[in-house]
Structure 1
Amino acid sequence: MDVESDSETSEDSRYDGVFSAIEKVRKHEYPSESGHWGSPYPHLTNDQLDEKLDVVKTLCTSLLPAIKRQLTAFLNSLDLSEHSDNPCPNVESTVSILSEMSDTVGETISAAETLVWEPPLPEPRHDRHLKELKHFRYTRILRITRAVIHGNLLNLLPDFSLLMIFWDRQENLNDITSQLKSANLISTVSWRAANIRNLIDAVVRQSTLSDLAILQETWQDTRQNTHKMLKTLFKVINGTYLDSSGRVNWNEQDGITKQEVKGLHRACSIQLAQLVIPVVKLARLFYGKLCNIAIHPIPFTLDRELSSAEYNMLLKTMDAFHATIHHLVAEIYLIDESDQNIVPQIRSLRQITLHPMSTLEQALLALAFHIAPSHADDTDRRRAALQRDFKACFFSAERYARRCLLESPQSR
């Protein structure tokens, strides 16, 4: 919907100044993601690095928090708390806030361009000494900043305009229909605004986190996902998963009655669920320890000179373990829900369930290769003890789970 043309249909609107201020903010264009994200030359001067670092700090501690404050002030200026009776936006205050927001958005975009363009920072394989300016860190900041401005804020402002146009055209806001329309628009505005605030908080939080802590936030989500998997697997075993999913559509086929197909599927899905549950529990424990959920925090951090290329490869390897479990659990759901006779396609329960253990072993090896003592002054003796503790903490659990799988009757 073209907000500018819509506003023109309401002559002498009391919100014309606000509409113009909104369009001024929306004229800003965030740089394309197809920009030059890395230089093949690994070295920049100290002055160039300091300039880039200042840009990152300004984005995280000044510009983005300013947008968050201005957005909150903008919401307050619209007087949304009185929308059901008599909305009274403070036009003068709103225009002033939007003018400040336009300046801040322009400065934010300029900062992003400075960070991305000349002189570009080194490629991911050359940035092991750059700390806060590592490729994976600053590109994440830029992606979130782009989502704040291009993906949310510039799409949020037209919602504000629509809301004010709606108010301007209503003769009786006490009418139930009018109140519902107004409430729906306000709900959309509030949801988008909350999303912007959450994104900005994520950028600010990342600027204070170590490389490992950034990974731990990802692993915390993974751990929560494994917990959900366990709940569903127990539903499969108890026979309540189909009831909750609402899938009950069985057909006779190939001479097998629907009851026989259902029985085969139930037996197979229960066997698989019983076999997979120890692996999912291990995954929950594994990611829980990595996220310091355990009573005793992990006694290591990531190598401080890990390049972005190595970091991204580690993340990919660690994610592969969860991905294989997710795929396996999805197959169990499919067996439990399907109205097709697919049980004969399951050739070896042991092969299917051992695959996650293989990816876990690869994840452990990759992680062990990149860990370092939590304190930089640790001696070589402490480093050796760290590797020993790491093996005792993780590999012993992996071997135990593997033995449980091999000894399980369902795997034979």
Structure 2
Amino acid sequence: MLDSSSSPSNNEAASLNQPTQEDLVVEGFSPLIKKYVPSMISEFAEFLAQRAQVKVSQESPWVLSINLQDNLLHRLHSQLLPLLNNQINTLSLSLITSDLWKDPGKNIQLILQTQSQLKHTIDQIKPIITAVCRGTNSPESRMNNHHLQGLKHCRIDRLKQRFNKGIMDPISQISLQGQNLFKQIQLTPKDLNLKFGECVDYKEHLTVQVHRASEQIESTIQLIKGSELDLVQESWESDLGQIDMFISEIICAINLPTHLPKEGDHQTPSRLVHAPTIELARLSIPMVKLSKLFFAKLLKCGMNQRRFRSYSEMCLDQIGTVTQSIRFVAQELDTLISCLFCADLGHTDTATARRELIECTNSLKSRVESALLLVLLYYLPLVPDTKGFPVQSYYQNWFITWNTQFNLSIREFQVAVESFDNTTF
């Protein structure tokens, strides 16, 4: 706790050629403005990293590493990150208050104290992230990472990026704004301080950055606490929205337009003209909807609403397969729609159109079934059964039924493609 009685007044400081309290505040923001440099490793981080990599035995060389790093992450999300969020909000409230311009000295002690606490908290977080990243970044863990449990690279890499960019950047912006604010206070005549204090621009900027920092901190906490499936699904919502858009696009393409095109309208055609391609588009709707249904079933409203163990036995490549599957499916659906329009316009001959549509649907089937296999092997066994209701059996039967319908929709579409002919258009 800083004692105001031990600090000289601004007049005394000026006469003694010592820094004023405003000078101390300005200087206190400097280390917070600097970005976090990943290569900076403190002695504490080195110590933790060395301990994390000690081999307990030949049979279980990573036991100590996993336990130690898991404890560090627990401290990070349960103590340090919430503390960091509180300190950021305390600092911002001290800078936003209207009394700051009228009587800067009233809040200086709180600002100086919060600066010191904020820097101390960041200095505790940095070596933890460094130690965890080093502990999971060895060549052995990159080649064989089944054993890393909740410390797999998909989580740790995102943690490092989210702290360095997501959290430290708004902290830097808040500190820069605070530093400039106190420089302005020092330069502004006392009789104009009240006028400048009514300016809301800097308050709005601070509020935006504080909100951004708080969101990123909460997101980082959830990143640490969440399950592996949560990480896999982070970007799925937007991809599902894109698949919805493709469904609407296909439906619009096979229906009559609701309005006549205006003269001189040269927009890309939004509906199909010829009966064979319209029929293909109609037959594509079930497989597109079933593709979406598969991923929707895995989200929070489906299988992932049930809390289960936070990690699976999958390796990094397998996790990547499930994570990226929905994006690849969306790309295949986009290609499918493009192929239909090209065939309808006569831009591709019959043989090419058939080949491209078959290849596209085979690729779509492969992407979805690869994800399905990994879900059945690794995620479904983690779902806890509810008393009186066999949850795993329910989902297993659901996926079997879904897979049957999905394969039927693919086959029906491909049979129609094999007889497709656009030479008569």
Instruction: State which structure, 1 or 2, has the greater radius of gyration over its C-alpha atoms.
Output: 2
Equivalent residue number for residue 16 of structure 1: 23
Q: Tell me the CA shift for residue 138 of structure 1.
A: 2.5
2:44 is aligned with 1:29 = no
Equivalent residue number for residue 116 of structure 2: 99
Secondary structure at 2:272 match in 1:
helix
Alignment of structure 1 residues 153-232 onto 2, 5 Å: 153-165=171-183, 171=192, 182-231=199-248
Q: Tell me the CA shift for residue 165 of structure 1.
A: 4.6
Counterparts of 1:303 and 1:411 in 2: how far apart (Å)?
47
Equivalent residue number for residue 72 of structure 1: 89
Alignment of structure 1 residues 1-400 onto 2, 5 Å: 15-27=22-34, 29-32=36-39, 44=61, 46-80=63-97, 90-117=107-134, 122-165=140-183, 171=192, 182-231=199-248, 250=266, 266-267=271-272, 271=278, 277-294=285-302, 304-328=312-336, 331=338, 344-345=347-348, 347-348=352-353, 350-351=357-358, 354=361, 355-374=363-382, 389=397, 391-400=399-408
* 1:47-71 CA distance string (max 9 Å, x none): 4443222222222222222211111
Aligned residues: 370
Distance 1:238 1:32, change over 3 A: farther
- Contact 2:129–2:160 (Cα < 8 Å) also in 1: yes
Query: What amino acid is aligned across from residue 24 of structure 2 in structure 1?
Result: G
Counterparts of 1:241 and 1:15 in 2: how far apart (Å)?
67
Q: Tell me the CA shift for residue 265 of structure 1.
A: 6.4
Q: Tell me the CA shift for residue 198 of structure 1.
A: 1.7
Query: What amino acid is aligned across from residue 211 of structure 1 in structure 2?
Result: E
Counterparts of 2:205 and 2:73 in 1: how far apart (Å)?
31
Distance 1:100 1:303, change over 3 A: closer
The answer to which of 341-350 and 120-129 deviates more is 341-350
Q: TM-score, normalised by structure 1?
A: 0.69
* 1:132-186 CA distance string (max 9 Å, x none): 22333223222222223444322442233345555666647769xx97xx54443
Q: Tell me the CA shift for residue 314 of structure 1.
A: 3.4
* Unaligned residue ranges in structure 1 (runs of 5+): 1-11, 251-261, 336-340
Q: Tell me the CA shift for residue 326 of structure 1.
A: 4.5
* 1:18-54 CA distance string (max 9 Å, x none): 2211102234633149xx9999x99536444432222
Q: Tell me the CA shift for residue 403 of structure 1.
A: 4.7
2:418 is aligned with 1:401 = no
Q: Tell me the CA shift for residue 72 of structure 1.
A: 1.0
Counterparts of 1:352 and 1:87 in 2: how far apart (Å)?
72
CA RMSD of aligned residues (A): 4.9
Counterparts of 1:230 and 1:82 in 2: how far apart (Å)?
56
Distance 1:360 1:145, change over 3 A: same
Q: Tell me the CA shift for residue 108 of structure 1.
A: 1.0
Distance 1:292 1:50, change over 3 A: closer
Counterparts of 1:332 and 1:392 in 2: how far apart (Å)?
30
The answer to which of 156-165 and 392-401 deviates more is 156-165
Percent identity of the aligned residues?
Answer: 16
Query: What amino acid is aligned across from residue 295 of structure 2 in structure 1?
Result: Y
Distance 1:62 1:343, change over 3 A: farther
Equivalent residue number for residue 4 of structure 1: none
Distance 1:167 1:28, change over 3 A: same
Equivalent residue number for residue 15 of structure 2: none
- Contact 1:28–1:106 (Cα < 8 Å) also in 2: no
Q: TM-score, normalised by structure 2?
A: 0.67
Counterparts of 2:247 and 2:323 in 1: how far apart (Å)?
23
Q: Tell me the CA shift for residue 14 of structure 1.
A: 7.4
* 1:174-203 CA distance string (max 9 Å, x none): 69xx97xx5444333333322222222122
Counterparts of 1:162 and 1:241 in 2: how far apart (Å)?
57
